[in-house]
Amino acid sequence: MNLDRILSVQGEAMIFGARERAEYSQLKVPKRKVEWAASRLAVKQLISASDRDLAQYQFSQIQILKEPSGAPYIEIDGRMRLPGWASLSHSRGHALVAYSPDDIRFGVDLEYIESRSMDFARDFFTEKEAQLVISGDPKKNMIITTIIWSAKEAVLKAIVKGLRVDTKMIEISLTPDSIDDTDWSILELNSPKIPITSPRLMWRREGDFIQTICLLDDQDQTLEWVSI
């Protein structure tokens, strides 16, 4: 997606509503501005493609706004809150977004695969998770750490808690050998202090990034992925 070209051709006012433009204007880091804009434009494209009735609205009439908790919600034409659920994530100039017209709670996360210190694992991971990283194959540690961290982010978005919750209250289990898989893989989730109903937690690698999604309550939901 060539966001600079889209913005120059259509203009911010054609893509973003007044409240979105106000939030966008508060962003000072160019990279952050691009990621913010790209993620919201991608959600608008998903919404328009999912419903013919919604396709009649200009993108500026479809606003991606935030609850006090930070969770995104969708407002149509400044007056109607759109049912359904959305989740957004971005990293290193790339964005991962998801939208469902159904009231199914989920969270997605995108993380660039990079080295993180052992102090990071000790601060944010459970003892079991940290031990998996510390005692594992050094060549795989970077990927394993990224998967665990991204999965925690996806879960916290799904339960609408974000990083206000101690990340050690969520424990992610995976088999180191599974990181060589090229398709979506299942992760095990243990959270005795945070009741989570029937979670489905998955991850996959795409290039230099890890993608994760956590769905709550509905084990039969069909997922469709589109690259833009």
- Is the domain of 122 the same as that of 211? yes
Q: Are 51 and 74 in contact (CB under 8 A)?
A: no
More confident position, 69 or 96 = 96
- Is the domain of 139 the same as that of 69? no
Q: Are 156 and 107 in contact (CB under 8 A)?
A: yes
Q: Are 222 and 204 in contact (CB under 8 A)?
A: no
* Listed residue (186, 145, 185) closest to 167, CA to CA: 145
Percentage of the residues of the chain whose pLDDT score is greater than 70: 90
Q: Answer whether residue 222 is part of any domain.
A: no
Question: For residue 134, what are the domain limits?
Answer: 107-215
Q: Looking at 1-158, which runs of residues are DSSP E strands?
A: 62-66, 72-76, 80-81, 85-91, 94-100, 106-112
6-18 residue pLDDT tens: 455 456 778 999 9
Residue 220's pLDDT is 63
- Is the domain of 73 the same as that of 162? no
CATH of the domain at 30: 3.90.470.20
Residue 219's pLDDT is 57
- Is the domain of 116 the same as that of 78? no
165-205 residue pLDDT tens: 899 999 999 987 778 777 899 999 999 888 787 789 999 99
Q: Answer whether residue 111 is part of any domain.
A: yes
Residue 138's pLDDT is 81
15-32 residue pLDDT tens: 999 999 999 999 999 888
Q: How many domains does the chain have?
A: 2
Question: In this structure, what token pair is assigned to residue 28?
Answer: 């000072």
d(CA 146, CA 158): 18
Residue 221's pLDDT is 64
- Is the domain of 128 the same as that of 167? yes
Q: What confidence tier does 225 reach under pLDDT thresholds 50, 70, 90?
A: low
Which pTM does this prediction carry?
0.89
Q: Are 55 and 48 in contact (CB under 8 A)?
A: yes
